[in-house]
Amino acid sequence: MQISIFFALLIGVVTAGSLRSSSVEFSSIEIRMATETCGDELYDPTESICCDGVLSSLSMCGSTSTSDVRCCGKRAFTDTRLACCGGTLDLKQGDRHNNACCGGFSFDQTTHMCCQGTFHPKPKGDEEELACCRTRAYSKAEFTCDDGVLVEV
């Protein structure tokens, strides 16, 4: 049986060994310090994570280690298939090493490019020839950008 006792700066976990009529024999006592604050709350960072002032239990996130848990705005998450783009969780596209965010969405940099918050399929051409004309992607081999307007070469 585990009894948790919360005091201002201490969090104590007492494990009871056996119960007898009006007495309790304790087999172990573990005292942990609440060393972090989240908003106005004290918490133990080995058991919880603070995301933008919102406290989440590591066990509720499906993890027992803070290295597995990340924040996206006020939400804690562990799924490595997700990316945090502008405070919004989005499913990663393509290989996770080539993943990036554009305008709050996840995209694969090997197949797409981001132009002022809008992502597009990469135009045909060499990587060094690719550019943006405001929100549009283009190849310098085929077009030039004249004050935000694409003009054929």
Using one digit for the tens of pLDDT, what is the confidence trace for 23-39?
555 566 556 667 899 99
64-68, 124-128, 138-142, 144-148: segment of lowest average pLDDT: 64-68
Tokens representing residue 51 in the block: 């995301």
The one-character DSSP state at 94 is S
Statement: residue 14 has pLDDT above 80: no
Domain ranges of the chain: 1-33, 81-153
Helix (H) or strand (E) segment spanning residue 145: strand 143-146
pTM attached to this predicted model? 0.64
The one-character DSSP state at 129 is G
